[in-house]
Amino acid sequence: MTLKSWKELPIGCVVSDPGSASEYHTGSWRSQRPIWDDAKCIKCGICYIFCPEGCVQQSEDGFFKANMDYCKGCGICAHECWPRAIKMLEEG
Amino acid sequence: MGKRVGLEVTVAVAEAVALCRIDMAGVYPITPQSHIAEHLSTLVADGKLDAEFVTVESEHSAMSAVIGSSGAGARSYTATSSQGLMLMHELLPIASAMRLPITMAIANRAVSGPLNILNDHSDIMPQRDAGWIVVFAENGQEAIDLSIQAFKIAEHKDVMLPVSVNIDGFQLTHMVEPVEMPTQEEVDQFLPPFVPHATLHPARPVTMGAFAMSDYFTEIMKAKDEAVKNSKKVILEVWDEWEKMFDRSYKPVETYQADDADVLLLTMGSMGETAQLAIDELRAKGVKAGLVKLRLWRPFPFAEIKAVVKNAKKLIVTDRAVSFGGPGGPVFSEIKSALYAETQRPTIYNYIYGLGGRDVTVHDFVGMFEKIIADTGNVAADTYVFWGVRE
Amino acid sequence: MIEVRWHGRGGQGAVTSVELLAVSAIAAGKYAQGFPSFGPERRGAPVAAFTRIDDKKINVRSGIYEPDIVLVLDSSLIGLVNVIDGLKPGGKIIVNTHKTPEEIRKDLNFNGSVATVDGTGIARKEMGVPIANTTMIGALLKVIGIMGLDAMKESVEHRFGRIAQKNLNAMKRAYDEIKILN
């Protein structure tokens, strides 16, 4: 990526392209990933609520999964899931 | 034509700001600024000013509120003093980096400690490098004129920077004096509606004040510096326009009896006219004394300063703030830097005076001239001196 | 230029008076300044306030150290504050008191011009309150003679609304009843 000169910066460095942060794929930070056991899942959505990255989504069948482009592997979903349906698995 | 009236200067400033049809005021009261806050609040409460008056809980909140409000596209105003300005300090460079055309009156007052509520410039000087345009008023008329001009300068598409109008506490703020208040029609003609460079709106999302690391920070600082420097062109245009419309002249550096002067004295703020009386007294005795008045503190008017002092033998720079253990008062340091590369320049002296409300009389200015004229060994030029300090 | 120093106590309205007088003088086409002694305001404490009036633009922004006129709103300040401090040679003092000018001259050990009027008595009768700040403007205008009482009408009406006339009546009585000893 070519860096801009000072003359090319927008006034006040306003970012006018909404949602441009999605270009950062924070999934590369992950050293462990959440695995859902749908047999234990009660579809309460607490993983969805607590995910600090907002990357947990509900599928059409009502179960949850994380978007691995953004999941940082923090484990908060697994920690909060009281039916213990989420396990963290080492990457690699 | 506006009406000539007697008003306390703070009230006059609030009236002038109301004529600018501000959308929002976020002000926390502090002596000697309080009457600006009170009068604006009254105008809003009485339905005479259609603006949102945000009763913030501190000056930090006041500056935060006007940053948010300006970002939303509202013409936003605040005013403060001393400790209040110090509390705003961390937000001032953010306002300028986000290029938000906020305007602020500063009723200049000494910074604690010890606690003191009276006038000097120790509140504005630590804000020197915040990236704001900084102007100083000399009398009540200038305080209202500069307050109105500030919106036009700040909001100009080639500027988009915050402006502070400095009004010496008490000596200016608490004086009832004659001012010519422009009419609403005149101000409407002079000041176009605010067109922001970007606005916060749910339907058109943008990010303001984003994060930037070493790959961009230098470029952003350079862009901000250029913006502040380039604002001078617009400032001069706005002042020319003001003069054509109201017949009152504003220049970055103004002079009095300076053309043929051997010894010049430089002031900034409300003491200029009192110093003029000292010049009259000295001229009557045959002393070629002159006065330089610095109005524009940022962007600093290098060319104008060089031009007006080059033929003088001695230049006495007066400061109303101390740079402890530094090279002299802040104005003195700046003037010295400006003249460093000049082959023809006066010997420069520095008096620190009028601290924490210490009164300054015509006699004090005459005394400064007499001391410096008598100094043949350039003794005082090596350092700065606290005028009138008890030894 | 005429420079006046007002002596009063916090809450007696010296600052209101200097403001009203400056606003009225400016409305009458003159140049004027009205300002308090700068600093914290404390009810009951001795305070000073200042007036400058001139026919040309006033440039000085320092305090007043050598007034032409001293006006004392509260005679209990005599002895507590040196009210004649710095008074110009030929300067005049005006005191709100029931005493005669001769008695005040003696109290102050002062040989110059002294004028007295029972401003508090007048205020009590005309307005029902013992606050003589506006009343004493009448006394001052009689002594300095640069403009008539009618010049005060607009600013007093603007400031006091329906009780304005009582203030103007009290001012007029002080103007008429002041005793001047030159």
pLDDT tens by residue, B198-208: 999 999 999 99
* Averaged confidence pLDDT in chain B: 97
Per-residue pLDDT at B382: 76
Task: Give B-chain residues touching C38 at CB under 8 angstroms.
Answer: 118-119, 170-171, 174, 357
CATH number at B180 reads 3.40.50.970
Residue of chain A whose alpha carbon sits nearest to that of B97: A12
Closest CA to A91 of A25, A22, A35: A35
CATH number at B282 reads 3.40.50.920
Q: Are A78 and A87 in contact (CB under 8 A)?
A: yes
CA A4, CA C166: separation in Å to the nearest integer?
A: 74
Q: Are B287 and B260 in contact (CB under 8 A)?
A: no
Identify each DSSP E strand in C46-103 by its residue range: 46-54, 69-72, 92-96
Over the stretch C40-87, which tens digit does the pLDDT of each residue have?
778 888 999 999 999 999 999 999 999 999 999 999 999 899 999 999
- CB spacing of A18 vs B220 below 8 angstroms: no
- Which residue reads 């005793």 in tokens? C179
A interface with B, Cβ–Cβ < 8 A, is 3-7, 9, 11-16, 18-20
Amino acid code (one letter) for B367: G
Give the sheet arrangement for strand B103-108, strand by strand: B52-54, B24-26, B76-80, B103-108, B163-168, B133-136, B296-298
CB distance from B280 to chain C under 8 Å?
Answer: no
What is the span of the domain harbouring residue B308? 253-386
Confidence check: pLDDT of C23 > 90: yes
CB distance from B277 to chain C under 8 Å?
Answer: yes
Confidence of residue B300 (pLDDT cuts 50, 70, 90): very high
Give me the residue from A3, A7, A15 closest to B207, CB to CB. Answer: A15
Same domain, B257 and B214: no
B246, B280, B298 — which closes off a domain? B246
CA B273, CA C56: separation in Å to the nearest integer?
A: 14
Same domain, B231 and B377: no
B215 burial type by CB count under 10 A (0-12 exposed, 13-18 middle, 19+ buried)? exposed
Over the stretch B10-27, which tens digit does the pLDDT of each residue have?
999 999 999 999 999 999
Confidence check: pLDDT of B243 > 80: yes
DSSP 8-state secondary structure symbol assigned to residue B327? S
Quick one: CA dihedral B377, B381, B382, B388, positive or negative?
positive
B188, B219, B246 — which closes off a domain? B246
Rounded to an integer, what is the distance from CA C86 to the centroid of its chain?
17
Same domain, B116 and B264: no
Same domain, B193 and B261: no
Q: What is the pTM of this model?
A: 0.94
Same domain, B54 and B156: yes
Hey, what's the torsion of the CAs at B229, B230, B236, B241, to 10 degrees?
-150
Over the stretch C123-169, which tens digit does the pLDDT of each residue have?
999 999 999 999 999 999 999 999 999 999 999 999 999 999 999 99
Per-residue pLDDT at C96: 98
Terminal alpha carbon distance of chain B: 53
How many domains is chain B partitioned into structurally? 2
B138, B176, B276: best mutation site toward chain C, by most C Cβ within 10 Å?
B176
Task: Give B-chain residues touching C35 at CB under 8 angstroms.
Answer: 170, 174-176
CA B296, CA B308: separation in Å to the nearest integer?
A: 15
Same domain, B223 and B285: no
Confidence check: pLDDT of B1 > 80: no
Per-residue pLDDT at A19: 85
Helix ranges (DSSP H) in chain B: 9-19, 34-45, 59-71, 82-88, 92-97, 140-155, 184-190, 214-246, 272-284, 302-309, 330-339, 362-374
Q: What average pLDDT does this structure show over B45-71?
A: 98
Quick one: how many helices (H) and strands (E) in chain C? Answer: 6, 7
Q: Are B148 and C3 in contact (CB under 8 A)?
A: no
How many CB atoms are closer than 10 A to CB B251? 16
Written as six digits, the tokens of C79 are 């002895």
Query: For residue B382, is it within any domain?
Result: yes
Query: For residue B391, is it within any domain?
Result: no
CA C11, CA C79: separation in Å to the nearest integer?
A: 20
Closest CA to B335 of B354, B322, B348: B348
Asked whether the bond before C67 is cis by omega within 30 degrees of 0, the reply is: no
Same domain, B115 and B232: yes
CA C113, CA B43: separation in Å to the nearest integer?
A: 46
Query: For residue B308, is it within any domain?
Result: yes
Over the stretch B328-352, which tens digit does the pLDDT of each residue have?
999 999 999 999 999 999 999 999 9
Quick one: how many helices (H) and strands (E) in chain A? Answer: 2, 4
Terminal alpha carbon distance of chain C: 21
Query: For residue B77, is it within any domain?
Result: yes
Q: Are C30 and B5 in contact (CB under 8 A)?
A: no
Task: Give B-chain residues touching A1 at CB under 8 angstroms.
Answer: none
Task: Give A-chain residues touching B205 at CB under 8 angstroms.
Answer: 18-19
- Which residue reads 């009095």 in tokens? B256
Q: Flag residues of chain A having pLDDT under 50.
A: none
Same domain, B165 and B278: no
- CB spacing of B212 vs A4 below 8 angstroms: no
Written as six digits, the tokens of B197 are 């460079």
Asked whether the bond before B205 is cis by omega within 30 degrees of 0, the reply is: no
Quick one: CA dihedral C86, C89, C94, C95, positive or negative?
positive
Rounded to an integer, what is the distance from CA B378 to the centroid of its chain?
31
In chain C the domains, ranked by start, together with CATH numbers, are 2-181 (3.40.920.10)
Same domain, B197 and B278: no
Same domain, B146 and B46: yes
In 3-state terms chain C splits into helix, strand, coil percentages (rounded to 5) of 40, 25, 35
CA B10, CA A79: separation in Å to the nearest integer?
A: 59
Residue of chain C whose alpha carbon sits nearest to that of B174: C35
Q: Are B69 and B100 in contact (CB under 8 A)?
A: no
Quick one: how many helices (H) and strands (E) in chain B? Answer: 12, 15
Query: For residue B38, is it within any domain?
Result: yes
CA C83, CA C70: separation in Å to the nearest integer?
A: 7
Quick one: CA dihedral C161, C162, C163, C166, positive or negative?
positive
Per-residue pLDDT at C8: 95
Per-residue pLDDT at B381: 81
Q: What percent of chain B has pLDDT over 70?
A: 100
CA B382, CA C169: separation in Å to the nearest integer?
A: 64
Same domain, B219 and B260: no
Q: What average pLDDT does this structure show over B215-230?
A: 97
Domain A41-92 in CATH 1.10.3720.10? The answer is no
Written as six digits, the tokens of C144 are 């300095």
Query: What was the ipTM of the complex prediction?
Result: 0.93
Please list, residue by residue across A35-58, b when 16 or more beta carbons sit within 10 angstroms of its beta carbon and e when fewer do.
ebeeeebeeeebbbeebebebbee
Q: Chain B window 112-131: which residues touch C at a Cβ cutoff of 8 Å? A: 117-119
B230, B246, B262 — which closes off a domain? B246
Terminal alpha carbon distance of chain A: 29
